[in-house]
A and B are shown apart, each in its own frame.
Chain A
């Protein structure tokens, strides 16, 4: 009985995960005339931050401003603008903050480089500790000295 319940729960969870992997919308997506434009439109609106809710993308935000900005993007796509032109337009109005994936420029360099620098520090620290402990073992010291490294 419990096993069957478990199986049902696991199946339900798997179904939820599968459904969740397709893009979820808090709003009904607007239709574009061609599948190519539709794909570009969806990619763009998922890449912009909603400036009012900040942790949601334009695609997921139900607020009015997000709807206005989606319309702006749709109009620009229909007018034949490239993705880069649309991104540049949004950045010129709202700053890099509107991009979920900020570009690598001088101002954002620290953002991209810090994780690498921290990883490097961690690796160096780990190597130092490992070498020191290995040396202690080799010199055949007492156990209580080992714990004191």
Chain B
């Protein structure tokens, strides 16, 4: 056994450990959510479009939905907006918005100008609902199933790629535009 064998073995071990570290954390900004596989938080919040009405988690039970946390102050949310409109157009799954610490007038004006992709929008005026969902930077999107379980969470603006590779495959085969429309 040469005197280099042991250092070489240790070095190789270090390389393996570091390689795993690099592979496992493609982006340190993306922290896995402990909510995945757990029930989505229960909520009942005023509606953005109609302050007299409430948007609640019980209304949403029974069908799949995407819970999208956004705000007009958030640049990435504006980037994401055209993709949200495409998702609405596809009719595959309804979008439920959480307008996070936003100005109501700004939010309504933005939706009027750019189009409104949401089926309903809940208002989180003081930021406490976002904490319930473990949100730390908009936009964040949660995929919730008919039983109210969080199936998937995406941090950052949804792209065509996210939609096709992460969200669509998680939906049941029967989730077609027709099925969504009837629900």
Contacts and interface: CB of A to CB of B under 8 A. Distances in A.
Interface stretch (A11-19, A21-29, A90-98): A90-98
Interface residues on B, range: 10 to 19
B10 to A, nearest CB: 9
B32 interface: yes
A65 interface: yes
A97 B134 CA distance: 12
B31 A72 contact: no
Looking at chain B's contact residues, the main secondary structure is loop
A93 B134 contact: yes
A64 B132 contact: no
B137 interface: yes
Given A52-B137, A65-B136, A93 B128 contact: no
B128 A68 contact: yes
Contact of A51 (B31, B126, B132, B133): B31
B173 interface: no
Interface residues of A, number: 15
B35 interface: yes
A68 B128 CA distance: 7
B127 interface: yes
B34 A94 contact: yes
Contacts of B137: 51-52, 65
Contacts of A69: 131
Contacts of A68: 101, 126-128, 130-131
B82 interface: no
A93 B31 contact: no
B33 interface: yes
Interface string B14-35: 0000000000000010011111
23 contacts: A51-B31, A51-B136, A51-B137, A52-B136, A52-B137, A64-B127, A65-B127, A65-B137, A68-B101, A68-B127, A68-B130, A68-B131, A69-B131, A71-B128, A91-B34, A92-B38, A93-B35, A93-B132, A93-B134, A95-B31, A95-B32, A95-B33, A95-B134
